Amino acid sequence: MLKVSIAPDGREYPLPTEEENAQERELLKKITDEQRALGRKIVAVQGLGFVGCVMASVVADATDKDGKPIYFVHGHQRASKRSFWKVPVINTGVPPVSSSDPEVPEIFHRTVVEKKNFRATSEDSVYSLVDVVVVDIQLDATKPAFGQAEKGYCDITAFREGIRMLGQHIRPECLVLVETTVPPGTCEKVVKPILEEEFTKRGIDIVSNPPLVAHSYERVMPGAKYVSSIRDFWRVFSGVNHRSIEMCREFLSNVLDVENFPLTQLDSTNASELSKTMENSYRATNIALTLEWARFAEQIGVDIFKVRDAIRKRKGTHDNLLRPSLGVGGYCLTKDPVLANWAMGALFGVEGQLSMAINSVNINDTMPLHTIEIIKREYKELKNLKIAVLGVSYLENVGDTRHSPSKTLVEFLRKDLAVVRAHDPYVEHWDELEEVTVEKDIAGTLEDADVVILAVGHNQYKNLEPKALVEMSKKRPMIVDCSNFLSDETINKYKGLGCIVRGVGKGHIV
């Protein structure tokens, strides 16, 4: 049977055969030689996920003072059924991610089709040809019990295998730049020893040719400024030795806008890794705090968002107060405190826990249940209640469903035997909840709904007129605003049409 990788839009791409792999190896050598003849350095990006694919295009788009490309980029994605489709899609100049940022399709077309200095491959031997490898392998935290993040751990098996594969191929002078968010200690205690082991097996003297390993984390936001959040933002970095640090500095300076967003060098990769996990733990804790106050506000008739606006006017100390919502999703805030907490014992042998950070994860992971509580105040019984969930991605105007709080929401609604339909204009297929179809017809999703949950603030939903929604539902459904998506004026329009309106932290609605 033909092995295929199926793209989110349903198109099938056959996995490469051994003969095709052999042809690809020859083609990679030919392309690399041609690019070196043009004076370009060669970069491989390992992992073409939400960060890796755009980072690869940003690297390829970097130019010298004469406007000529500095690098040729080989983007590498394993030939798995789940992900291989990205390779042929990228090689047509089309991004494998959906975003509201118009620069995403532009930069892919520019680098793949026009400049021809970005190409994707699934062939592992590509790493033997490059000067820099940017590691963007997905590394997740495992939380075996819902709402008990303290039991979480990090399975680094696949990550270790990816690094070992690099050690088997890269030249000793190649820089390995880890951009994956990793537990503190990973570069020093996992990456470097694996590379040393593989170098030694290959007969490379690791005293005169020690592995070159650096860490730098991006602060990517896959929304309206997706590309800019990688290229035009501050970076923290460090390396395991002086040469690694200097090579990393040169590479980042060539690729990023360091004139307006200067680099920050820390003393060690441990510090750089800790910086990323602490940064996201701070944000997770900030959000968790707001849910407690949102519940309080609901009970005493207060709009928590107006209170938040008043507090944020105090610039420099309080203007970064975040907001409550359906919940916290994405690849960072849901896992980074767990990675750091696990690293304390597993990598450093330090006793204790990061209790406040872990508690914030527990609050945020269970936050979607509060939206269900709001519905249950009006409907004691959810069995057979028809509920339309608008938005299944974790962030407005993007198609990223990783750790989306909508998944928890839908799962628990279905446990209560509600009839749930989900819609999202940016999501073709919900990988994490395959049994749920993501509808494309919003009218069909809303038809006959008893409850409409505004789960994600996609522009399509924010711009939806109350009269149009009510007409599509053919009822006067209960409207649940999960994160201040509706103004008071819009709320009053819904109420004027006979709808009950409720929301997270919106105690002022009567």
> What is the pLDDT, as a whole number, of residue 220?
87
Q: What is the CATH number of the domain that holds 86?
A: 3.40.50.720
Helices (H), 256-367: 269-299, 304-312, 336-346, 355-366
Q: What is the pLDDT of residue 16?
A: 96
User: Is the four-CA dihedral 491, 493, 496, 498 of positive or negative sign?
Assistant: negative
Neighbours of 97 (CB within 10 A): 22
- Residues 377-385: contacts with CB within 8 Å, 24+ apart? 377/502, 378/478, 378/500, 378/502, 379/450, 379/451, 379/478, 382/413, 382/416, 382/417, 382/418, 383/416, 383/417, 383/418, 384/417, 384/418, 384/419, 385/418, 385/419, 385/450, 385/451
Residue 204 lies in a domain: yes
Q: Which residues contact 120 (CB under 8 A, 6 or more apart)?
A: 48, 74, 75, 76, 77, 86, 87, 88, 90, 91
In terms of DSSP bridges, do strands 12-14 and 4-6 run parallel, antiparallel, or are they unpaired? Answer: antiparallel
Instruction: Report the alpha-carbon distance of residue 427 to residue 222 in Å, rounded.
Output: 14
- Based on the fold, state whether residues 220 and 322 are members of the same structural domain: no
358 located within any domain:
no
Q: In what order do the strands lie in the sheet with 386-390?
A: 438-439, 419-423, 386-390, 451-454, 478-481, 501-503
* Number of independent structural domains in the chain: 2
Q: pLDDT confidence of 90, banded at 50, 70, 90?
A: very high
Please give the pLDDT value at position 383.
Answer: 97
Mean pLDDT for the stretch of residues 136-153: 93
Secondary structure (DSSP) of 13-59: EEPPPHHHHHHHHHHHHHHHHHHHHTT-EEEEEE--STTHHHHHHHH
Check whether residue 254 and residue 305 sit in a common domain: no
**Residue 165, pLDDT above cutoff 70:** yes
Q: Do both 439 and 308 map to the same domain?
A: yes
Confidence band for 284, pLDDT divided at 50, 70 and 90: very high
Confidence at residue 223, expressed as pLDDT on a 0 to 100 scale: 80
Judge if 181 and 47 occupy the same domain: yes
Q: What percent of the chain shows pLDDT beyond 70? A: 100
Co-location of 100 and 247 in the same domain: yes
Judgement on whether residues 490 and 379 belong to the same structural domain of the protein: yes
pLDDT tens profile 3-62: 899 998 889 999 999 999 999 999 999 999 999 999 999 999 999 998 999 999 999 999
> How many whole angstroms separate alpha carbon 73 and alpha carbon 65?
19
Question: Measured in whole angstroms, how far is the alpha carbon of residue 258 from the centre of its chain?
Answer: 23
In a domain, 336, yes or no: no
Q: Which of 219, 248, 268 is the last residue in one of the domains? A: 268
| Cβ neighbours around 3 below 10 Å, total | 12
Residue 440: inside a domain, yes or no?
A: yes
Closest CA to 333 of 276, 409, 397: 276
Average pLDDT on 455-465 reads 95
Is residue 192, in this structure, part of any structural domain at all? yes
Q: What is the mean pLDDT of the chain?
A: 95
Residues 372 and 249 in one domain: no
Q: Is 174 helix (H, G, I), strand (E, B) or coil?
A: coil
Same domain, 32 and 173: yes
Looking at the predicted structure, is the pLDDT value of residue 143 above 60?
yes
For residue range 221-261, what is the model confidence (pLDDT) as tens digits? 888 899 999 999 999 999 999 999 999 999 999 999 999 99
Reference 179, options 193, 204, 154, 162; nearest CA is: 162
Please tell me the distance from the alpha carbon of residue 43 to that of residue 235, in angstroms, as a whole number: 19
* Confidence bin at 2 (pLDDT 50/70/90): low
Q: What is the mean pLDDT of residues 349-356?
A: 95
Q: Looking up tokens 């049977």, which residue turns up?
A: 1
- Whether 98 shows a pLDDT value over 90: the answer reads no
Q: How confident is the model at residue 99 (pLDDT cuts 50, 70, 90)?
A: confident
Confidence bin at 385 (pLDDT 50/70/90): very high
CA–CA separation, 386 vs 86, rounded Å?
A: 36
The residue range of the domain holding 313 is 301-327+367-503
Q: Which residues contact 226 (CB under 8 A, 6 or more apart)?
A: 54, 99, 101, 103, 104, 220, 398
Per-residue pLDDT, 115: 97
Q: Choose among 481, 45, 50: nearest CA to 294.
A: 481
At residue 367, the pLDDT reads 95
Tell whether 234 and 312 lie within a shared domain: no
Distance of CA 113 to the CA centre of its chain: 26
Structural contact between residues 52 and 46, judged by C-beta atoms closer than 8 angstroms: yes
Asked whether residue 508 is domain-assigned, the answer is no
Helix H segments across 170-268? 186, 192-201, 226-231, 242-255
Any domain includes 247: yes
Buried b (16+ CB within 10 A) or exposed e, 248-262: bbebbeebbeeeeee
pLDDT at residue 1 tops 80 = no
Number of Cα atoms under 13 Å in the Cβ half of residue 369:
10
| Same domain, yes or no: 171 and 320 | no
237 and 307 share a domain? no
Let me know if residue 287 belongs to a domain.
Answer: no
In this structure, the answer to whether residues 229 and 312 fall within a common structural domain is no
